[in-house]
Amino acid sequence: GAVVSQHPSRVICKSGTSVKIECRSLDFQATTMFWYRQFPKQSLMLMATSNEGSKATYEQGVEKDKFLINHASLTLSTLTVTSAHPEDSSFYICSARGGTGRETQYFGPGTRLLVL
């Protein structure tokens, strides 16, 4: 299957700081990228959908000013958690798909964020 990478794999930061997570599709052009959050023992929750060159679409209840998403190219999307607080500590996972229709969505390995 296609390869999606994330960086960093884990990050620890102080409360109030901002953290940027990168998601890259390594061997295909991703027209659409998605960002998910997963708390322990829970399922993945879709946060937002981003298409290259356009503004991200956020799911209900997700603060767009807190979780800034940039999809500047067909292979890179970034998620910035602004003014992070301990309740933002979670496992953040991105995914990417190329094309439209029934294209398979491939997931990155995830980023573990711990806010102290």
Binding site for another protein (CB under 8 A): 1, 4, 6, 32, 34, 36, 43-46, 49, 51, 91, 93-95, 97, 100-110, 112
Tokens representing 33 are 């990228």
- CB of 83: closest distance to another protein in angstroms? 26
- Please choose, from the candidates 21, 22, 24, 20, the residue with its C-alpha nearest in 3D space to the C-alpha of residue 4: 24
Give the nearer residue to another protein in terms of CB position, either 45 or 68.
Answer: 45
48 and 68 in contact (C-beta within 8 Å)? Answer: no
Give the nearer residue to another protein in terms of CB position, either 51 or 80.
Answer: 51
